[in-house]
Structure 1
Amino acid sequence: MSGFRPYFTYYFKPGKGYLGGDFFFSETGKDCIRVIDRLKEPLRQAVFHHLVVSAQLLKSGEAVSNFMIHPSVRMNVHNKYKKEVENILHEICTDFENEEVQLSLKEAYNRLHPKKHELLPFEDIREEVQELLDNHAIKVLIMNGKHEVDAEEYAAGSNILIGGNTLGRGVTFGGLHTIFYTRTAKKPQADTMWQHSRMFGYDRDPGMIELYLDNRLYKLFCDINATNDAIIAQIERGIENVKMYYPEELSPTRKNVLDKRHVFAVSGGTNYFPLEPSNHTIEDLDKLLQPFNDHEEKYQVSMQIIKKILEHIQTEPEFPIGAFLSFINIYIARNPGAQAILIVRRERDIKKGSGALLSPNDWKLGNNITDKMVLTVYKMTGNKGWDGQKIWVPNIKLPDNAIYYDVAEADE
C-alpha cells in the first residue's frame, strides 16, 4: 500500500519443541555454546561430540545424525576442513583403545543429557562409535559450487557436512546436533547471519546439541536475537511502525537495498540536540520536571518519564525527535520497566546555534554512562537568542555501541 513498507506485520509463534534464537542466544541457551577461543582443540572436541550423539541417536531408533561445519565461502578452506576431519576420524579409528581417545569419548558422553530418549550406557555408545568407524559409516561431504550433494545423502546415518553459501539458504539438516560455525565478515549483516542459522529446528534434542563458534560471533548472534525479540515485542503490542537497532559493527542488510531517502541511522554514544526546538508547553514541562532539582548530579528514571518529556518538545524536520520516541517504544515494548538517566539543569545561558550544548562536566557525566539512554535537559534563560523566551532544550544519547534504524513514511 505504501510502496515502501509492508501493509501489515504479523508474527507466527513457533510450535512446541522448536529450538530457535532464544534457546541458543539468550541466558537459557549458554549450556549448549562452546566458545572455540577457550578450547585447545575445538574441531576435535566437536568430532567426538558428533560420534557419541550419532551413537545415541541411531541406537535409539532415529534415522539421522548430522554435523555441520560452516567456515568460509572459500572452497580451499572447505577442502582443508574435510582433510582435518578425515584425519581426526582416522586417528580415532586406528587407535581407538588409546587412553586419550577413550577419555575424550567419555568426556563427550558425560556432556549428553538427552530429553527425547533415555541415555544409553557408555559401553553401548562406545561399541556403536567403534562400529561406525570400523565400517566407515560416517560420511564427510562438501557442499559448495563445485560439489553438489543430494539431500538423500544426508537424510540418514551419520554425516559431516562442510560448506559455505550452499549451507546458508534453502537447505535444512535433520538431526543436526553439532554445529561448527566460524564464518565471519568484516561488515556482517544481520539478515545474512540469521539465514545461516541451520541449527534452528524441531527435531533437535535440547540436551545433546552443541554449537561451536568464537566469542565475537556468539556476541553478534546474541545481538541479532535481542533485536528480533524487540521486533516481536513491538508486533505483539500492536506497534505499527516497527523499529530496530543493532550494534555499530552490525548492519541489518546490504547497504544497496536501503533507500537513504527514507532510512536513517542514529548512533549510540553520540550526543544529539535540536537547533530549533519548541516546547508544548513550557508550563507542562516545568510541572513535569519540577521534582528533579539542579543540585542532583543525575536521576535514574523509567523510560516512560523520558518519553513524556520528549513528547512535550517539537523540533525542526532535520532532527528526528520521532525516531528517539520510537526507540523508547522498542525498549518499553520489550521491558516495561526499562530505566534511563535524566540530567536536569536550569538557568542556562547558552547562545542559540552554538556548536555544543552541554557543559564539559555534563558532557563527561553523560559519556560515562554507556549502557542506558541519557537525556539531559537544559532550561535556557532566553538571553542569548531563543527568541528571547525561556525554553527547555534536550540532549539525547542512546546506549553506546548501538545504531538505531528508523524508517520514515514513503510520502515524507
Structure 2
Amino acid sequence: MSILITNEEKIKTNELFYSLLHDKNDYDMATQKCIEDTVIDLIHKKTNNNHPGMLLGKIQSGKTRTFIGVTGLAFDNNYDVAIVLTKGTKALAYQTYERLKDEFNVFVEDDYLQIFDIMNLPDNLAQYELDQKLIFIVKKETNNLKRLDKALNQTYPELKNKRTLIIDDEADYASIGFKKTDREIYEINRIAGQIDLLRQTIKDSSFLQVTATPYSLYLQPDSNIELSGYTFKPIKPAFTHLVPHGSNYVGGEYYFQESQDDSSIAFHLHNPIDDDELQILKKSDRRRFKIEEALKSNRVKSLRDAVVNFLVGGIIRRKQDENRRLRKSKYSFIIHTEQRQASHQWQEVIVTAIIDQLTLASEENPLYFQRLVKDAYDRLSLSLNILGVNVPFIDDIQYLARESLQRGHVMITKVNSEKDVNELLDDTGQLKLRVPFNIFIGGQILDRGITISNLIGFYYGRNPLQYQQDTVLQHSRMFGYRPKEDLAVTRFYTTSNLYQVMGKINDFDTALRNAITNQNNNSVVFIQRDNKNNIVPCNPNKIILSKLTSLKAHKRLLPVGMQTYSKTKIRQLVNEIDDKVDYLIRDNMEKLIDLEDASNIISMINDTFDSEKGEEWDVKSFISSLEYLSKNATEDQNKVWLVVRKNRNINRIRKSSGRYEDAPDTPKGENSELRMAKELAQDIPALILLREEGDEEKGWRGSPFWWPVLVTPASTQPVVFARETIDK
C-alpha cells in the first residue's frame, strides 16, 4: 500500500491494524480510498454533532466493513479508543459486537486490543488492559449511555484524555435532528443530548456518522441559497465519503430501473398485490376469507403464489447447486405488512394453512398440487431463461416439492419482539436459517441492521397514510449482495402504489448520491410547496414521500394507473380541452406556450380522472414541478414547450406483464414525441399531451381523454419537491 497524500498531509497506511485488515478483507481500490480519505478528514477537519463526518452507504452494502477499516487505520494514526454507537436493540448491538470480535480477533488474542459491550465492561480493568487500544459497543439508549458516562467520569477517568473516534452507526436513528413519533421525541432528544455530552467529555474526539438514509441529517437547514426568487437551505457535513459497493450489489437500480427492461431478469421481479388482500391479512374475518380455503381462495392469491414461488424457487436453486456439486443453500422469505403483533399471528395462521393444505394436496390431490408447482415453475422460468442458466426438469421439481413439504423442510417463524430476534440469531448476529425454506413474518423488528441471508422473496405491504423515505428504505431487506442465479428466482410482492413510492425513493436517493459524487451538494435541495403557492425550504425529517417528486435532467413525469370518468360525464370537459389545445397549437404540433395555459390544461385533465376507479394522480406535485422548472429557466421564464399528438389508443394495462402502462409516449421514430420533447427541453420544460381514444376493450371507460407527460429540461439539477401535507 502506498502512503496517501491529501492536502499535503500524510497518514500511516502500512502499520499493524490497517495492514492486517486490508489483507484479511482484500479491500479494492475504491474501498481503500474511501477508508483512507475518511481518516485523513477525521484527523484534519474538526467534526462535532452539528458538523459530523459522514460515511454514506447503501442498504446492506458494506458500511460496517468500511467503518471497521476506518477504525483500524485510525488506531494506526494515534487514536486510542473507538466508541461504536448502535441502534438501541440487543440484536444489532450483538451483531456489531460479534462482527468486531471476528474482524479484530488477531489483535485481541495478541493483547493489542480489548473489545467490550459497555454493559459488560468490568470495573477492575488493569493498567495493562487500559494501555491497549479499546473499542466500546454502546446501544443508543439511556442506560448504555449512562454506563459509558460512568466509565469515563468515575471508573476510568484517564479514558477522557485518550484520542477517541466516536462512530454513530445507523446515525439517523435516535440521533441529532431525527424524530420518529411524538411518544419518542423526549427520549430521542435525551439520547442526542447524552451523545453530545459524551463528545464534550472527551478532550480529543472525532465524530463519524454512518448511514444509508441521511435525509434527517445531511440536509438539515443551515445557510440560505437564493435562486430565481426562491430560498433553499441545504447543509454540508464536515465531509462526506460514499461507501463503494461491489458489482454484485443489488439495490434500487435493479428493483426500479432494470425492472422496466423486458430483456432483464429484473423485468419479472415485481408481482403486484391488491389492497384488498392486505386488508384480509390484518385480522380474521370469515365474512371475507375462510381459512380452510387458503389454498384456493382468490382473496389471498398473491400470498399463496408468493409462498409457492418461494418454495419452487428455492428448490430450483438447491437442485442447481446439487447438479454442480456445490453445497446447497438455505433460503429465506419475508412477510412484512403490519406492525401489530395480532396481525403477525393471523398471518402466521394463514401461511401455516397454505403450507399444510399444500402438503395435504401433494398426497390427496396430486393433479392440483402439480398444477400449482408447474405454474410457479413457469413463472420463474421466464427470468431463468433470460439469465441463460440450466433449469432443472419440472418432474424433478415436482418430486422435490412434495418431498420438502412432507419432510418438514419449510419453517414459519413469527418475529415481532426483540426477545424473538435474539433467540433466532446465529453466531454472526444474523437471523439463523434452520431449514431449507424459512418464512419470517414480522414488522419493524425486521428492518434496519438485521441481516437475513439468501432472501429470494419479499412480501411487503406497509401502507401508511404518509410515507417517510428513510423508514421505507430501511424496510428494504431485499437489498444487498445477491448472486445472479438467486436473483432469477427472486420475487418482490407489493401494491402498485407502494412500488411507485419506492421508485420515487430510489430516484431521490440516486440524485443525492450523484450530487455528492459530483462534489456539488448544493444541487440537491428539499423544497416544499406551501398553501400560499410558493416554494420554500422544508425540514427533511418531515418530508412525506407520497407527496414527494424528484427531478433530474430529461426525467419524465406522468400519471400512471389512472382511470377516466364515464363518457357522458366528461364529454363536455374533453371537448373544452380539445378546443383549448387546438387554439394554442394552431396546426403547429410543437409550440412555446405560457405556463399559465399549461397549468390550466393540466388541472382540466385531472378533472377527467376518477380516483375511485383508478390510481390517484398527484396533480399538485405535477403542476409544482412544471412551475418550478419554468420559473427557473435562464431565458423565456414562465414558458413551456407544448408537444401534441392525437389519435392514440393504447392499452391501460400491458398484456405482457399485467402492469399499468407507463410509456404512452413513443420514444423512437421520425415523429416521436418523446424525442422531439427532449430536443426542445434544453432549458425550458416540455409538456407532451397525447389524445387517447380510451376504448373499453383497451381497459378504459369508452371516452377520449388527454394523457400528459412532463419532460424536464436537460439543464435540470437534481432537486426534490414536497408540497405541504405535514401536520402542524
TM-score, length basis structure 2: 0.36
Partners of 1:127 and 1:88 in 2: how far apart?
19
Q: Distance in 1 between matches of 2:317 and 2:686?
A: 56
Closer/same/farther in 2, CA of residues 305 and 164 from structure 1, 3 Å limit: closer
CA distances 1:180-211 after superposition (whole Å, capped 9, x unpaired): 00112122100010000001121352211100
Q: How does 1:57-206 map to 2 (within 5 A)?
A: 57-59=317-319, 60=321, 61-96=327-362, 97-112=365-380, 113-114=383-384, 115=387, 118-145=390-417, 147-148=420-421, 149-152=423-426, 153-154=432-433, 157-204=436-483, 205-206=486-487
Give the superposition deviation at 1:236: 2.4
Q: Which amino acid in structure 2 is aligned with residue 193 of structure 1?
A: V
Alignment pair present for 1:52 and 2:312:
yes
Secondary structure of the residue that 1:241 maps to in structure 2? helix
Residues 250-297 of structure 1: per-residue CA shift (max 9 Å, x gap): x986439xxxxxxxx99999xxxxxxxxxxxxxxxxxxxxxxxxx953
Match of 1:210 in 2: 491
Q: Distance in 2 between matches of 1:51 and 1:266?
A: 38
Structure 1 residues 274-313: aligned runs within 5 Å:
297-298=593-594, 306-309=632-635
Superimposed CA distance per residue, residues 193-247 of structure 1 (whole angstroms, 9 cap, x where no aligned partner):
0000001121352211100001111011000001111112212222132524599
Counterpart Cα distance in 2 of 1:118 and 1:51: 18
Give 2:215's aligned residue: none
Q: CA deviation at 1:128?
A: 1.4
Decide whether the 8 Å contact of 2:508 with 2:550 is kept in 1: no
5+ residue gaps, structure 1: 257-264, 270-294, 312-334, 344-367, 375-397, 406-412
CA positional deviation for 1:134: 0.6
Match of 2:145 in 1: none
Tell me the distance in 2 between the aligned counterparts of 1:86 and 1:119. Answer: 29
Cα distance, 1:100 vs structure 2:
2.7
Deviates more, 1:235-244 or 1:221-230: 235-244
Q: Which of 483, 492, 508 lines up with 1:227 in the alignment? A: 508
Question: Which one-letter code corresponds to 1:51 in the other structure?
Answer: L
Distance between the aligned counterparts of 1:104 and 1:173, measured in 2?
27
Question: Where does residue 273 of structure 1 map in the other structure?
Answer: none
Change (3 A) 1:155 1:11: farther
Number of positions where the alignment pairs a residue of Structure 1 with one of Structure 2: 298
Residue by residue, what CA displacement relative to the aligned partner does 1:142-200 show, whole Å, maximum 9, x if unpaired? 11116334233326521000000111111111111111001121221000100000011
**Are residues 24 and 267 of structure 1, via their aligned partners in 2, closer, same or farther at CA, if it must alter by over 3 Å?**
closer
Q: 1:307 to 1:207 in 2, by over 3 A?
A: same
Helix, strand or coil at the partner of 2:437: strand
Q: Output the amino acid matched with 1:134.
A: Q
After TM superposition, give the deviation of residue 338 of structure 1 in Å: 6.0
Aligned-pair distance for 1:54? Answer: 1.7
Letter in 1 for 2:416: N
Cα distance in 1 for partners of 2:539, 2:328 equals: 38
Conserved in 1, the CA contact under 8 Å of 2:270 and 2:492? yes
Q: Kindly tell me: are residues 245 and 117 of structure 1, through their superposed partners in 2, closer, same or farther at Cα, counting changes over 3 Å?
A: farther
Aligned partners of 2:460, 2:354: CA distance in 1, in Å?
18
Percent identity over paired residues? 24
Distance of aligned partners of 1:231 and 1:66 in 2 relative to their CA distance in 1, 3 Å threshold = same
Of residues 26, 36, 40, the one that matches 2:273 is 36
CA contact (8 A) 2:686 2:711 kept: no
Provide closer, same or farther for how the CA distance between residues 339 and 23 of structure 1 changes in structure 2, counting only shifts above 3 A: farther
Deviations 1:293-327 (A, max 9, x none): xx9535999x799553499xxxxxxxxxxxxxxxx
Q: Is the 8 A contact 2:504 2:549 kept in 1?
A: no
CA contact (8 A) 1:69 1:161 kept: yes
For the residue of structure 1 that corresponds to 2:476, the secondary structure is coil
Unaligned runs of 5+ in 2: 1-46, 52-221, 223-235, 278-297, 322-326, 427-431, 530-537, 552-556, 558-590, 599-625, 638-677, 688-706
Change (3 A) 1:180 1:64: same
On the 8 A contact 2:251/2:480 being kept in 1, the answer is yes
Deviations 1:89-111 (A, max 9, x none): 11111111433321121111112
Q: Pairwise CA RMSD of aligned residues? A: 4.1
Q: Is 2:411–2:435's contact at 8 Å kept on the other side of the alignment?
A: no
Contact 2:634-2:683 at 8 Å conserved across structures: no
Q: 5 Å matches for 1:329-368?
A: 340-341=684-685
SS at structure 2 position matched to 1:169: coil
Q: 2 CA distance for matches of 1:90 and 1:246?
A: 52
Q: CA deviation at 1:71?
A: 1.1
Distance 1:244 1:156, change over 3 A: farther
Which residue matches 2:710? 371
* Contact map agreement 2:309 2:377 (CA 8 A) in 1: yes
Letter in 2 for 1:33: H
Amino acid at match of 1:84: I
After superposing the two structures, state which structure 1 stretch, 139-148 or 236-245, moved more. 236-245
CA distance in 1, matches of 2:527, 2:250: 23
Report the Cα distance in structure 2 between the residues aligned to 1:15 and 1:200, rounded to whole angstroms. Answer: 13
CA separation in 2, counterparts of 1:246 and 1:154?
44
- How far apart are the structure 2 equivalents of 1:197 and 1:142? 18
Partner of 2:722: 403
Q: Shift of the alpha carbon at 1:139?
A: 0.7
